[in-house]
Every structure is written in structure tokens, then in C-alpha cells.
Chain A
Amino acid sequence: MGKYLVNLKINNIPVSVEEGTTILDAAKNLNFKIPTLCYHSDLSIAGNCRVCVVEVKGQRVLSAACATPVSEGMDVFTNSEKVRASRKNVVELLLSEHNADCTKCYKNGNCELQEMTSEYSVGNHIYLDLVKDKDKILDISSPSIVKDDSKCIRCQRCVRTCEELQAVSALAVVNKGDHQKISTFLNKPMHEVVCTNCGQCVNRCPTGALVEKNYIDEVWNAIYDPDKFVVVQTAPAVRAALGEGLGVELGQRVTGKMVAALKKLGFNKVLDTDFTADLTIMEEGTELLTRLKKALVDKESVALPMFTSCSPGWIKFVEHIFPEYLANLSTCKSPQQMFGALAKTYYADKINIKPEKMVSVSVMPCTAKKYECDRPEMRSSGYKDVDYVITTRELARMIKQAGIEFNKLESERYDSILGESTGAAVIFGATGGVMEAALRTAYEIVTGREVPFTNLDIKPVRGMEGIKEAAIKIKDTVPAWSFLEGVELKIAIASGLANAKKLVEAIRDGKATYHFVEIMACPGGCIGGGGQPIPTSAEIRKKRIEAIYEEDTNMTLRKSHDNPEVQEVYKEFLGSPLGHKSHDLLHTHYKPRKRY
């Protein structure tokens, strides 16, 4: 059934839009901006903040533009006296309940509420102050996320994010009336509840009520400490988004400028997580082939499909929700933690620095990695493998703090060794990227030929859909892998934990079978990570993904096994993939956790 057009007028201007369109979207068509707070393009409609109210002629009450579909003959006014008076009152009400200490607030300058107040509530605070226990309600228990209820406007974006995108429901609305608030299960601290630390709620919170736990001061202190040698690694997705907070156009890769900025900030070595992304492919690809061999040749019982393990939010999700699938997770550490383990062993040795003097910092698009680096398993070097994780947002802030004019920086190159990488590593940042990288390598190992796709671009695994699947027939294998001759390798990819949950349930219920499944906790993969610049939307994520693939296309080396530094590390130190040293440093184990 085709949609038919509805004719209406907005501020006396006629417009025709498809039936089902909201007043908000219809007004956008005419370039009338209606302010919103609880609305978010990634989420279902709540209609609870009421700042988007508009007047519809003939209606007794105002209508929430975000929640009201257009109807034939509607006469809408977005800026009438009633509308503006109501909006102003609503914003002032929100402020009266809000701990509005903007100058001390982490969100100062990037806050939707603050923006709204400069438009609608100028100076005169008419209502009584209703903020209760300003300090008591700060929850700093989590290593990733800080929750400050005194800054919460109850828009429920976080609740919808956690439920609709992530299927975790760590956050919920409790109580009614003046006691209504956003709470965790039994009001426990964030660190003790089923939360994956993915930070998606942080990405969508319009205020300072949910923010990342920041380690900016710790990193500065390390840099300033003359006794410390500070190395920094940067994840693939950071370069595709860092510019957004620094005046660079959306979708521009800023790899070289970022390296230059990091050197200016005073890091002793600027290295690349992409290097260990390539390493991950060597280890994980080999692990997959080994599992397949066990299943097909040795007829051993082995957990298949194998799930990727580079997304710590996903790891914690499995530990909580699907503990029966722990064996299916690849034992590979995430690239961040592989890097950390190598940094304080192989690398420290190589550059002649005592590991206890080394401070290892990583810049991630991710808040879950803050939690990951704290896990007790992540001390294979004998020290904390990664000392501090800062997000893309925190790095942008440090660059501003240092007074660096980012836009004017000349590109610089990563240091070596552990700085070289391939296009396969870069695409780790986008959903489907790990799969594509793994296939480029595994297919070549097995057949001796490159993957049969034009320009190595494995198109079926690309794109923004939440769940993707594909099958690749393996033909003309080299002798060592002849048992895979004719096998159709079945793969699936999901991003966003709600999609991941659907996929695992389909596997569990026997509705789908795969050999290899890539999962990223965040919608769109790491480019949509919980530590990326705010705001986020499908459009923004798409632009970042394009930047990622563009970087891949522009690289000379595009297959992980071609990375010369990776080859060198195996030769000098690790031996072979899945070898003894790898096992000690690059692989890990998981543990079941409570479901509530």
C-alpha cells in the first residue's frame, strides 16, 4: 500500500508530506526548527519533555510536535504567543529541578539543555529551587560512566537507548510524581548492575546526567611526570570522528593531525591500535581455522559459531545474558589489550624502558574499554597492561585544553614499531569490518588467493543494517586446508546489542547456523561507540563509516598478514599465531556473571 500525501499548513505555509509524518518532521521540511529534548532520531517517541509543543488550530491543548502525526487540513503554528510562553515555562520548570551549575559541569558547552536555556530562559529564574541532595546522588561507582541524578531532566532517552538499542535495560524509570527518577535495578550503584558500560546512554543523554568517567587529569599527570614514559595507542574509529569536536567537517579523517596533536600533548610515543587489530586478525583467523579443523576433521566437539571478542561491551553482555555461550567467544583479547600486553613486554624491552616506568594510555571510541582495562585478567605483562583509557571526546578536550589549533596542524606519522597498520585494521571501526579483515586473511591462507571480490571490498558485509549475513564458498584450497574444500563458510554480523541478542537467540533456537559471527556492542560498530563525539545519528554514523572505508582504500597495505611489523613481531618475539607467547599475552578467558 503506497503512502498518500497529507496537505497542511505550518505557520501559514502550505506543505504536503507523507501520511504518518510527524509535525516535527513536516516543519523540518519547511526549515522551521522546533526545539526538542526527549526526542532522538535513534529512539522511539516519548513525548514527555513538552518543549516541542505547537499550536494546532481548533485544538483545546497544544500538541507535542515530535509525537503528533500530521492530518489533512491541519493548521499548525510553531511560534505563537501561547507556544512560546509554554515553552519558556517548561524550560524554566526544568531548570528549577536542575542542578544548573554549568560552569562546573562536564557537559558545559555541549549540552542540549544549556542551549535551550540560552534561547528560552534568559536570566530571570522565577520558580522555586527544587533540587534535592545535590551531592548525595552522584554515582561514581562505575569505571566507565558517571551518573548524576541532579542533572537529569527525565527525558528517558537513556532508558529507551538501553532497552531499544541495547536490550540491556540497566536503567529504568521508578517512582511517580515528585519522586520519579531514572534508576538502576534496586537502585544499586552502576558498577553492580547488569550494565555493559557501552556508553550508548551517555551518547544520547542531552545533559550532564550521564557522562563518561574521565581520566584526563590522570593522563596529564603521567605526561608531566618526568619519571614516566607515556605511550599512547589510538583505535581505528577515533580518526574518523575526532575532528567533529574540533571544528573539522563531519566525515573527515584526521589521522595525521591526530598523531601530530598527540605528539604535541607530550606523549613519548604515539602508536596505533590498528597494529594490534592486524595482530588480532592473525590470531583470531587462525583460531577460527583451528576450530573448523577440530570440528570437520578431528570431529571434536568445539564451540561454533565462533564469536568475535573485540568489543568489551559485547563480552560483558554475553557474560551476563548468555553465559552458556562463553565458549563460543574467541579467546583473543581486544586489540587494545593485546597492545597493552605487548607494550609493557616486547616493546618496553625493545626501546629499553622499564615496564614499571611505562604508562600505557589508549584513546578509544568506547567507554566499555575503560572497564576492560580494569579487569583482573588484563595484567599479563605483570603490570596493568593499559593504565588509562580516554575516549575520543576526552582527547578532543585535552587538545583544546592544550590550546592546540587542531585544524592548522601538519600531519605526522605514527612512531614505529607498533605503529604500522593495514586497511584491514582500519575497518575494525565499522560494523562488518572485523569480518572483512578476517576474510581477507583467512581466505588467502586457505586458498593461497585473494578474496574473490573486486578491489578486496567484501561488499556483502558492509552497510548499516543491524544484522547482516553472507556465505562464501571455499574452492581450490591449498593442500594444508583441503578439508575446507567446497565448504560454504557462513557468517553473520550484528551491531547494537539488541541486534546481537536477536542473532544469538536465532542461533540458540536453531533458526540459523553460522561458522563465524562478528558482534559490536554499539550501533554501526565502533564509529558509533559510546565515547565518540556527541551528537550521534544514523546520518552521522554513516559519514564516519564512509571515512573509515576511504582510509582503507587509500592504504597501500590492505591485508593484516601483509603488515611488516606484525611479521616482525612474530619473528622476533611471538613465534606463531596461537603459539605459547600468544597464549600468555594475547588471549584471555571469560566468566559467567549474574543476570540481575
Chain B
Amino acid sequence: MENNILKKVDLIFDNTCDPLVVVDKVLAKSPDDVILDIIDSGLKGRGGAGFPTGLKWKFTRNEDGDTKYVICNADEGEPGTFKDREILDKVPEKIFSGMAIAGYAIGAKEGYIYLRGEYNFLLPMLNKKLEDFNRKIKAKNLDFIISIKSGSGAYICGEESALFESMEGKRGEPRNKPPYPTVSGYNSKPTSINNVETLVYALMICKLGPDKFKELGTKDSRGSKVFSVSGDTPNPGIYELELGMPLKEFVSEFGDGDTKAVQVGGASGHCVPRKHFNDTIIGFEGIPTGGSMMVFNSSRSMYNVLHDYLEFFTEESCGQCSPCRIGCQQLLKGIEAIKKGEKSPIYIEELKRLAATMKIASKCGLGQSVCNPFTSIVDNFREEIIY
């Protein structure tokens, strides 16, 4: 089933509800029932990987041990993504409340917000509201307290295990998995880590009930999602849209009439060329996205677009694993060499094989996803890359 139209939604920024009333409602239920509701809703993580949120909570709850953590991933570093900033700015209490609900559900007493270093300007406001919130939660006899940790400005620290390392005061490098965070996360304790937006949806599901949420979206992509729209569009900005929409509808709403490609999911996402607008669904069954939609019109050089992305990854790779550290440099230098005629055009095939190796041999999601933009841009815009 797919939606034919592009439907705007207003759940995340809806300011008419008092989030603490939702917390009260949740506290009247058992933690297990809360988790069942989230599972039932079909909510999947909005940070990019799309793991079912209810299951993540359940796994964390099922772990032995008294010390568990809830972490809100507010490191938003994916190029073209700026929706978490808006959520943090506009509805922080909803995030806090979502965390408190998660804490209640999994049995955690502490929550942390890992805030992107560049968002430190939000800190005074957030801390002030948080103080107030923590006090109110205490008054409800819920043993849960939230604090904020400031990130140090590396994209890789948004990857969950690198984020834990960074929080522990170490160098932000992804860990080996397993163990997964639900078993061994921050301080090696069971940890449920969610994206900012995911936590607000969890709150809204608790408010509206899972059925209401399921009315939106498709079987594989329940609900809606906040999109960051940028590039060659007359209407850049943040939009909450129903999931499962055809890209065609998106382009007709946001394009400038001359759209040649949309990069779905930021630098680490896929590039969809015009010829595929009709058969591309935005959602977990089609192309998933953490929310970034970059629109390119025919004045753009896709070589430059790819070059920019590869420069970004070459710099932002944590550098620990060979396929990613060296692979990114080879892809970048490789397309430069082809452009300059120092390597023959068929070298692009070698680079594609390399990207495929990076996808399966890299240690974390960063190195694994470089293949997405590389292959999708090279396959669809081969002439622009070579000549």
C-alpha cells in the first residue's frame, strides 16, 4: 500500500498538549504495557538505522542489572539534516518527557542528552527547562533525572557506540558489535539510545494510542517523519510528512520544476535520479532517511556533489578501520584522477568494487554507507563523473 498524496502532519511540534500529562498517563500503566504499545505502534528509529523502538526498549528492560541508561542522540551531524535542532528548540519538554517514559519503561534512573557541540547555543535554554522538568518529575515520585552532555564536534560521535565512548571521556571511535547497546552501552551498562525525534513520537504514541499512529504511513513505515528539505527548492525548511510517500509527490511539492535528482538521507543516503522519481517510496520499504532531502536541479554538477560528500567522509571517518579510512581517500582521489584523465574511465569499476567492499567490511555504519551515495551517483550520472 502506498499513499498517493503528500500529507502534512502536525504531531512533533504540536504544542497543545502538556507532555507531563502524558507522563502521568504512562505512569498509571505497567512498564511492560507501555513497551507493548510502542511495539504495537510499529515505530522505528528516526535516527537513520530504523530499528523498532519498542523492541529496543524491551531488550534493554530484559537485561539484568540495576543501572541502565536512556540516551537521547542529539548529535545531528548528517549533512542536510537540521530537524533535531528545531525540535530541541521548539518542544524540549516533549523530548524530556519521551525520555522519562523510556526510563520508566526500561527501568533506567538516568537519562542523558548528547548534544551536538555546534548546538551549544541552545544549552542555557535547555538547562533551564531541564531543571524545571527534573523537579517536576521528582514531584511525581519517578526516580529519573536527565542531564546534558555536550559533544565535541565529530560526525562519528553520532554513531551510538562512538557516542558512548565520547561520553565516557574517550576518543569517539565506534566499538565492535555485538555487544549491542541494549546489553552494553554507556559505561558498559544496558542502554537504550534513541534519536530526538523518535522520543517525541514515543510520547505522542503514548498520548494518542498506537492505533492513531498506525493510521499514518504504510505497513513497513508507520507514522510520519520530520524532513529537512534543502537545495534547489523554493521552500526549504522543516516539514512533518506522512511516511511512504512517492518521491514524485515530494518533488512536485518541493522541486523548482527542474529537479534532476534528490539525495535522500543525507550524504550517507541514496541519490535518486529523475527517471526513478515515479517508482521510489520514501520509507523503510523504499529508501529510508534520517530526514534529509536534498534537491538538485539541472544546474548542479553531480561530480561536485559526490566530491563534496567524499571530502566529508574522508575527513569525518574516525580513521580506525582500514576499509573506511583508506577507502574514502581512494574514492575521492580516484574520481579526481578520472576527471583529470590520470586514470582511465574504467577505473570507476574498480572504485565501485572498492565501495562494495567498504559496505560489507567496514566496522561501522559510516564506512558501510559511503557506498550508497557513491554507487547511486556514479551509476546514474556516470558521464558527469567521467568527463
Contacts and interface: CB of A to CB of B under 8 A. Distances in A.
Contact-residue bracket for chain B = 35 or more
Contacts of B176: 45, 47, 64, 67-68
A180 B320 contact: yes
A89 B363 contact: no
B368 interface: yes
Interface string A55-83: 00000111010011100000000000010
B320 A130 contact: no
Contact of B171 (A53, A64, A89, A173): A173
A173 B320 contact: yes
B64 to A, nearest CB: 12
Interface stretch (A26-34, A92-100, A213-221, A399-407): A92-100
A175 B314 CA distance: 12
Interface in B133-166: 154, 156
Interface centre among A60, A178, A179, A180, by most chain B C-beta atoms within 10 angstroms, is A178
B26 to A, nearest CB: 34
Interface in B346-387: 350, 353-354, 357, 359-363, 368
B223 interface: no
B315 A177 contact: yes
Contacts of A409: none
B323 A175 contact: no
Contacts of B235: none
A46 B323 CA distance: 15
A130 B325 contact: no
B280 interface: no
Given A176-B316, A178-B314, A89 B354 contact: yes
Contacts of B55: none
A128 B330 contact: yes
A153 B322 contact: yes
Given A48-B363, A50-B361, A156-B320, A178 B325 contact: yes
Contact of B323 (A68, A85, A93, A180): A93
Nearest to A179: B319
A94 B327 CA distance: 9
A64 B353 CA distance: 19
Nearest to B368: A61
A344 interface: no
Contact of B315 (A46, A61, A68, A176): A176
B171 A177 contact: no
A484 B328 CA distance: 70
B360 A89 contact: no
B329 interface: yes
B178 interface: yes
Nearest to A129: B333
Given A48-B363, A50-B361, A128-B337, A178 B329 contact: yes
Nearest to B334: A128
Given A89-B361, A177-B316, A154 B350 contact: no
B72 interface: no
Contacts of B357: 85-86, 89-90
A177 B325 contact: yes
B317 interface: yes
B321 A48 contact: yes
A271 interface: no
B208 interface: no
A86 B361 contact: yes
A176 B360 contact: no
Interface string A442-471: 000000000000000000000000000000
A48 B327 contact: no
A48 B328 contact: no
Given A154-B319, A175-B319, A178-B314, A96 B361 contact: no
Contacts of A154: 319-320, 322, 325
Contacts, number: 116
Contact of A94 (B322, B343, B363): B322
Nearest to B312: A177
B125 interface: no
Interface centre among B154, B321, B328, by most chain A C-beta atoms within 10 angstroms, is B321
A38 to B, nearest CB: 9
B362 A50 contact: yes
Contacts of A51: 322
A176 to B, nearest CB: 5
A130 B322 contact: no
A297 interface: no
Interface centre among A127, A156, A175, by most chain B C-beta atoms within 10 angstroms, is A127
Given A50-B363, A61-B368, A128-B337, A69 B320 contact: no
B359 A61 contact: yes
Contacts of A378: none
B316 A130 contact: no
Contacts of A48: 320-322, 363
A121 B314 CA distance: 24
Given A48-B322, A86-B357, A154-B325, A130 B315 contact: no
Given A126-B350, A128-B330, A178 B360 contact: no
Contacts of A68: 176, 178
Interface string A91-132: 001101100000000000000000000000000001110100
B353 A85 contact: yes
A53 B386 CA distance: 32
Interface in B230-287: none
A49 interface: yes
Contacts of B5: none
Nearest to A85: B357
Given A68-B176, A126-B350, A177-B317, A90 B325 contact: no
Interface string A137-177: 00000000000000001101000000000000000010111
B122 interface: no
Given A64-B363, A68-B176, A96-B326, A89 B317 contact: no
B314 A177 contact: yes
A94 B325 CA distance: 10
Contacts of A61: 359-362, 368
Contact of A93 (B316, B318, B322, B343): B322
13 contacts: A46-B320, A50-B322, A50-B361, A61-B362, A82-B360, A86-B361, A90-B357, A90-B361, A93-B354, A96-B330, A130-B329, A176-B318, A180-B320
Given A50-B323, A177-B313, 7 more contacts: A61-B361, A85-B353, A89-B354, A93-B330, A97-B329, A128-B330, A128-B343
Interface of A: 45-51, 53, 60-62, 64, 67-69, 82, 85-86, 89-90, 93-94, 96-97, 126-128, 130, 153-154, 156, 173, 175-180
